[in-house]
Amino acid sequence: MIFLIPLAIWLGTANCFLAFYNGSPQAFRRSLLTAAIGIFFFIAASTEMLSPANFVNATSIKTAWTILNIALMLLFRRLSKRENVSMPDILKIWSSSGRIFFHDTGTFTNVILCSILTLTFIVAVVAAPNNMDSMAYHLSRLGYWIQNGNVNHYASHIERSISFSPFSEYVHLHSFLLSNSERAFQLLQWGCLVGLLMYISLLVEMLSGKRAAMRVALCFGVTLPIVVLESMTTQNDIVVAFFIVACAFHAFDYVRQTNKISLILLVLAAALGMMTKGTFVFYTLPFAAYVFFFMISKPLQWKPLAFLIGGAVLMMMLLNGPFWYRTYQIYETPIGRMSNGNKNDVSNPANLLSSTTKHVFLHLGFVSPGDRYNQVMMSTLDRFHQFIGIPLNPAGTGMIFKMNKLNFNEDFAHNFLAMWLVIFSLPLLFFTKLSKTACWFAALSFASFLLFCFFIGYQIYGSRLHIPFFLLIAPIIGIVYGSLKIRAFPVLLSLILWLFALPFAVLSTSHPLLSTKWFFEEVFPKINSAFNLNINIGKANMNLKQPSILFSKPEKIVWGDYAEQAAKMRFYVDSIGAKNIGFDFLESSLDYAYQYVLRAPDRHFEHVKVRNPSHILENKTFLPDCIIAEHFEGNQMTYHGRTYVKTWTVTGTFIYVPVN
């Protein structure tokens, strides 16, 4: 019944068109984006409403979606009669506006958009989810929620799974219960990327309206390496970027037109963004201040401002309050403790300079003969820190700074060309004719990045946390480089961005569409030798050599080189007839991978011997038929008065079974 989701989106889009946007040249894009936010709100609210009664199950979720679709159908009948517009009429209007839009974007830009989106769509649908964070905590939550019938916190060795915001996983929960399959999981981020491209196009039309600006902005957004890679995963950085850019657009749209629908969408997007990822706050705050000061300065806007504040508080508490309360019960803080290690030292203002430069230089590394380019860049960064009187890596720094080279992993890939384009755009901004609105948008986009850098310290995987900034600044990049007098420059720039992005779409180290084994054994050695790159692809990084997902079994995609060991573990657990399985995991464990290979009817999983504050949630009556441990507990262990002995082991994993 997974078709209920696209049906709801379709009906929602038609209803939004009839109710709000009929007659607008941007009608389809605005209608679809409004419907998407509405559907996301339905998912979040219905999950929290069903949870207290333990109704988070396939029957309840299917019933909820059926009721939603019936309600949308009835609403469509009413609106279509009122407006005297039928569905075929709507389709003709959308088709006509679509032809105009794609004519304006141009054939070459359309080829770039379609090629990247098609390649990433294929990978997202074909590949089983195997991102490391997803297996550790993004997806591992689902199994416990489903077996418990609610989204309450549970005892877990992996604290991220009970303290990090859950919205993306609520979407995965609904898609799984509707289809009993993971096939649609990675389409969430891919779909949000499509939505982001729509928002970028709307922003360009608002800020400039020039075709060249539109083409460059869209190509810039769709070819960001980290975005390309993440659009094929079950992480949530593109999802939160969707809500951040939505808030930015609707804030400016309201200031421009003072229409109520933008204010409502701003409230909903803000609540959903907070429910997705904590970084939402830093990127959105400048835009929130912008709309606040606009409204407070005009007496006629005081009443809408009261609605905005009251609505934001209400929606924030409705969607986020239950999760914050559950987290507070364990940690005595609504945000848990797992994000503390990323905080920047804000006591010294010079730390803003240090943090910002490190976040920027994170993207500026690249391959070069003898690695000389990176050495020069590293030396430059070190001298800058000496100048401001702060060590590059002060005592207590969580992560030592290092220059990237070239990475095809969705956790570590960086945006080399994009960051240089951003840097070069700064002086060009002074020579580009920008509208007052565009100047404000550019200033607030850069302010959001600085705010992020001020509070969040450097992390080696920080590139994915910068996704919102690059997508926010995409319209400005389009305007700046689309305004250059060299007529062929936008086309040449788009071509370079496209050619640089294509390898990331097909050679992801996690789930490559083309074999990375072939690439690193046949192609890369010649490049490495010809350019004297001195990059060693040896036994230490054999995980780079992966077969194509088109010819890999799902278990192989999930477990990688450990697929054979996982199969043997599954065979042993099945052979002893274990129904109740205890997990004694490390915090970095790939919980979902174990669930994936061990899943079976009537099989129940729980974490045991938990060593963090969530141990208070352990089921005191749970008696596992076996305990799968990543902590070595000796040859025997005791749990709930029962003695377990080690009967099976493989590298880093031990299975204990009860003596009696």
Helix (H) or strand (E) holding 650: strand 642-650
Where do the structural domains in the chain lie, given as residue ranges? 1-105, 109-127+186-513, 516-547, 559-658
Strands 580-584 and 653-658: unpaired
Strands 626-629 and 653-658: antiparallel
Confidence at residue 539, expressed as pLDDT on a 0 to 100 scale: 52
C-alpha separations of 314 from 209, 307, 308, 310, 319 in Å: 36, 10, 10, 6, 9
**Rounded CA separation 270/313 (Å):** 10
pLDDT beyond 70 at 372: yes
Q: Phi-psi category of 581—alpha, beta or left, where left has phi over 0 and alpha has psi -120 to 50?
A: beta
Buried/exposed code over 97-108 (b: 16+ C-beta within 10 A; e: otherwise): beeebeeebbee
pLDDT tens digits, one per residue of 330-354: 999 888 776 555 677 777 778 889 9
pLDDT tens digits, one per residue of 423-443: 999 999 998 999 999 999 999
Give the total residue count for the chain. Answer: 660
Confidence at residue 393, expressed as pLDDT on a 0 to 100 scale: 87
pLDDT tens digits, one per residue of 464-519: 999 999 999 999 999 999 999 888 899 999 999 999 999 999 999 889 999 887 77
pLDDT beyond 60 at 546: yes
Quote the pTM value. Answer: 0.96
Confidence at residue 527, expressed as pLDDT on a 0 to 100 scale: 76
Handedness of CA 618, 621, 623, 624 (dihedral sign): negative
